[in-house]
């Protein structure tokens, strides 16, 4: 981005300087409820899991991280777009496209080739994101309608690439998602989550781009009057979202070992659930990346816990739906209270 | 928004082209019907002799469930909301109907199905109107809940053989006098009721008012929450009704029955000229939108292309139509 001169990295939002006045901790907590609340929620859920399933071992930790990896990517993709005031209902389909692209092209390749292909697929993901964003900006059709429809289109593209589940990838490549690092307790997938979010989001967040994203997301008119290029910023958000979606699709390949054109469907809705639970406001401009990523681990734990409890895991979807609604209600309640205070 | 769209039009060719565009902009319905005719001509060109009275009556038969599910969506979009749970509600009501018909009788089964629509619609309304949850999240959540509940229900009651009552089957798939689809007798009165209701009744005007400016409504003494609550409940019931028609046309209920209706239910409304931001539009446009999408479907079927290509084309044409409409009316 050709940012105008001057520094603006600190003004963005989430980790604003944590309180200088009295009661720094309390104030930080009030200002960033999700930054403290989400890890607490995750710890609570982990404690609950260990309580009902005392044999919780490194294997369970690995499957948790593996399950959460694609969801975390979907949540990150959604978070960027929603922060900029949009919404992307095509995340799952874009993930499916990346997933089947990987599984069809890497099938007989070496590890090195698969890494090169991964880079190409991530670039393709950015291109797909750009297409989504450009359609939104050019046609002036609301985001919901555009991405619901492009989601349908990308779903068709995924089916064109690979009709039914199949394909594959080199073992070393799969190991990036399924293996462990050093000890059994440090799954590669957990490292992937952290590394990818850091690699994509930290440069964005530290640059002026994040300032533009949050500005456009919180008040488009005000941003426009301050000279922000709204269209370019919104397209940029979709591009970053596309990057995350592509990595999400690649991680699906690593974890499942195959390509599946319908695998992404689940991730659009769950990713949206994760950002809502993770404290990103759907009206834009409010929230961060830490909350959604941690929320995706919590969402992955729910069906696991249900299995440990011997409850029909199909209740998972009911609980997930209820959780989404409850979290937003509680959030709305506090927002209402704050605005009256 | 409208001036920028107008100023972007080339001034040179204004005399004829501009005049036509202006007229179309004043009467978007003409543009919609033109699109419909173009599609029909396209079908007739691809396979001459397809467009017959029989084909037209089939068209109405298949458009009815989409028209009914999109009716609820229209009411909700008019207030600036959206309902992503309509497909789950339609599936759920159809599934409940099919699984309770044998044990409790057809009439009770229909009521149970519609009851599900009312229940989920009311939950949506309570969340959105009273607790101020964004419609997108609320209906997404209730959609997931409904779907999940149906999966659990289906596994508990797996031994019951699903059965579609005869009159529901007739409603969804038979015709009277050779050409008049049965479901038209349900759709047409509903359509008249909704169109007149939106234009003439106080509630209809309140929907536009709330969609136009919620705060002004509140200040003018409108109980916005009551309007929204009723609105979402109506949308839920209409989705359930559509579910019954759909299951009547397929004559078999499964748990992904109405999933394909989510995108068209919103697309029909948007193509039909209802603003998704609220306050503008109406049901007559949605009806034409639903018919256009149904014609598009049969056009794509004629193309004899693989399913994924049809899917891509379908989405692309919806986007193009919606874009053209947004550009045209500004």
Q: What is the pLDDT of residue A338?
A: 61
Q: What is the dihedral of CA B269, B272, B273, B278, to 10 degrees?
A: -20
Tokens (6 digits) for A324: 């989404």
- The average confidence (pLDDT) of chain A is 84
* A229: contact with B, CB 8 A cutoff: no
Q: What is the pLDDT of residue B298?
A: 87
Q: What is the pLDDT of residue B263?
A: 92
* A295: contact with B, CB 8 A cutoff: no
DSSP string, A270-317: HHHHHHHHTT--TTSS---SHHHHHHHHHHHHHHHHHHHTT--TTHHH
Residue A5: pLDDT band (50, 70, 90) is very low
Tell me the β-bridge partners of B181.
B175
For chain B, the domains span 2-329
Q: What is the pLDDT of residue A339?
A: 61
Instruction: List chain B pLDDT tens, one digit each, 330 residues.
Output: 444 444 444 444 445 777 777 777 777 788 889 889 999 998 888 888 888 888 888 899 999 999 999 999 999 999 999 999 999 999 999 999 988 888 888 899 999 999 999 999 999 999 999 888 889 888 988 998 898 889 888 887 666 777 888 888 888 888 888 788 888 989 999 999 999 999 999 999 999 999 998 889 999 988 999 999 999 999 999 999 999 999 998 888 888 888 889 999 999 999 888 888 888 888 999 999 999 999 998 888 888 888 899 999 999 999 998 888 887 776
Query: Residue B37, exposed/middle/buried by CB under 10 A (0-12, 13-18, 19+)?
Result: exposed
Tokens (6 digits) for A181: 């690092």
What interface predicted TM-score (ipTM) does this complex get? 0.84
For chain A, the domains span 57-340
CA nearest to A156, candidates B315, B285, B230: B315
Contact: A144, B155; criterion CB under 8 Å: no
**Minimal-distance CA residue of chain A relative to B330:** A140
Q: What is the pLDDT of residue A28?
A: 64
Residue A120: pLDDT band (50, 70, 90) is very high
* A334: contact with B, CB 8 A cutoff: no
Is pLDDT of A18 > 60? no
pTM, entire model? 0.85
Contact: A282, B137; criterion CB under 8 Å: yes
Contact: B326, A156; criterion CB under 8 Å: no
Return the CATH architecture of domain A57-340. Orthogonal Bundle (1.10)
Is pLDDT of A57 > 50? yes
What is the CATH code for B2-329? Answer: 1.10.3470
CA distance A77 to A66: 18
Q: What is the pLDDT of residue A180?
A: 84
User: How far lies A137's CA from each of A228, A234, A235, in Å?
Assistant: 15, 8, 7
Contact: B152, A315; criterion CB under 8 Å: yes
**Minimal-distance CA residue of chain B relative to A132:** B319
CA distance B198 to A197: 49
User: How far lies B191's CA from each of B58, B168, B288, B314, in Å?
Assistant: 18, 20, 12, 26
Lowest mean pLDDT among A96-105, A278-287, B64-73: A278-287
Residues B167, B109 contacting (CB under 8 angstroms): no
Residue A4: pLDDT band (50, 70, 90) is very low
Q: Which of chain B's residues have a Cβ under 8 Å away from the Cβ of A314? A: 148, 151-152, 155
Q: What is the pLDDT of residue B250?
A: 86
Strand, helix or coil for residue A259: strand
Is pLDDT of A290 > 50? yes
Report pLDDT digits (tens) over B285-302.
Answer: 999 999 999 999 888 888
Compare CB distances from B311 to A145, A155, A329 and report the shortest one's residue: A155
């Amino acid at each position: 981005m050709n940012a105008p001169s001057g520094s603006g990295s600190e003004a963005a939002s989430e980790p604003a300087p944590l309180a200088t006045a009295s009661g720094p901790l309390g104030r930080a907590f009030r200002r960033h409820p999700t930054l403290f609340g989400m890890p607490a929620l995750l710890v609570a859920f982990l404690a609950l899991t260990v309580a009902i399933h005392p044999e919780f071992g490194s294997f369970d930790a690995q499957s948790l991280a593996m399950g959460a990896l694609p969801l975390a990517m979907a949540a990150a993709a959604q978070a960027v777009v929603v922060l900029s005031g949009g919404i992307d209902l095509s995340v799952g389909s874009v993930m499916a496209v990346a997933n089947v692209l990987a599984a069809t092209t890497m099938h007989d390749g070496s590890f090195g080739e698969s890494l090169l292909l991964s880079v190409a697929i991530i670039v393709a993901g950015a291109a797909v994101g750009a297409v989504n964003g450009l359609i939104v900006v050019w046609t002036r059709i609301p985001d919901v309608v555009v991405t619901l429809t492009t989601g349908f289109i990308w779903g068709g593209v995924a089916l064109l690439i690979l009709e039914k589940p199949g394909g594959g990838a080199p073992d070393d490549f799969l190991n990036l998602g399924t293996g462990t690092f050093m000890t059994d307790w440090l799954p590669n997938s957990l490292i992937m989550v952290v590394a990818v979010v850091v690699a994509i989001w930290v440069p964005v967040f530290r640059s002026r781009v994040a300032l533009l994203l949050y500005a456009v997301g919180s008040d488009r008119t005000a941003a426009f009057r301050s000279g922000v290029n709204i269209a370019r910023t919104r397209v940029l958000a979709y591009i970053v979202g596309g990057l995350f979606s592509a990595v999400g699709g690649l991680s699906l390949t690593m974890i499942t070992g195959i390509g599946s054109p319908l695998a992404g469907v689940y991730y659009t809705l769950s990713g949206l659930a994760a950002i809502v639970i993770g404290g990103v406001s759907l009206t834009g401009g409010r929230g961060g990346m830490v909350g959604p990523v941690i929320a995706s681990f919590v969402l992955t734990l729910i069906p696991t816990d249900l299995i440990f409890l011997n409850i029909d895991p199909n209740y998972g979807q009911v609980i997930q739906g209820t959780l989404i609604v409850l979290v937003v209600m509680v959030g709305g309640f506090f927002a209402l209270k704050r605005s009256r205070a | 928004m409208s001036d920028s769209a107008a100023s972007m039009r080339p001034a040179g060719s204004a005399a004829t082209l501009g005049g036509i565009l202006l007229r179309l902009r004043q009467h978007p319905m003409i543009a919609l019907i033109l699109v419909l005719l173009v599609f029909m001509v396209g079908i007739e060109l691809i396979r001459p002799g397809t467009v017959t009275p029989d084909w037209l009556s089939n068209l109405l038969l298949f458009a009815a469930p989409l028209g009914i599910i999109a009716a609820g969506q229209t009411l909700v979009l008019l207030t600036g909301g959206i309902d992503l749970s309509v497909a789950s509600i339609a599936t759920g009501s159809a599934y409940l109907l099919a699984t309770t018909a044998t044990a409790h009788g057809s009439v009770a089964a229909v009521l149970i199905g519609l009851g599900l629509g009312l229940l989920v619609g009311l939950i949506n309304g309570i969340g959105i109107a009273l607790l101020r949850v964004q419609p997108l999240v609320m209906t997404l959540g209730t959609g997931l809940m409904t779907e999940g509940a149906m999966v659990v229900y289906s596994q508990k009651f797996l031994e019951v053989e699903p059965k579609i009552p005869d009159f529901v089957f007739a409603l969804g798939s038979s015709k009277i006098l050779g050409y008049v689809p049965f479901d038209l007798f349900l759709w047409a009165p509903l359509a008249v009721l909704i169109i007149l209701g939106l234009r003439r009744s106080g509630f209809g005007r309140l929907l536009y008012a709330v969609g136009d400016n919620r705060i002004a409504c509140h200040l003018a003494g409108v109980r916005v929450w009551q309007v929204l609550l009723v609105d979402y409940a109506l949308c839920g019931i209409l989705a359930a009704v559509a579910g019954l028609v759909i299951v009547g046309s397929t004559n078999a209920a499964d748990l992904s029955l109405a999933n394909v209706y989510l995108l068209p239910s919103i697309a029909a409304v948007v193509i039909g000229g209802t603003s998704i931001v609220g306050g503008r539009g109406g049901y007559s446009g949605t009806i034409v939108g639903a018919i256009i999408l149904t014609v598009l479907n049969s056009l794509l079927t004629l193309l004899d292309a693989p399913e994924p290509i049809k899917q891509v084309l379908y989405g692309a044409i919806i986007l193009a139509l919606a874009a053209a409409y947004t550009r045209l009316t500004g």
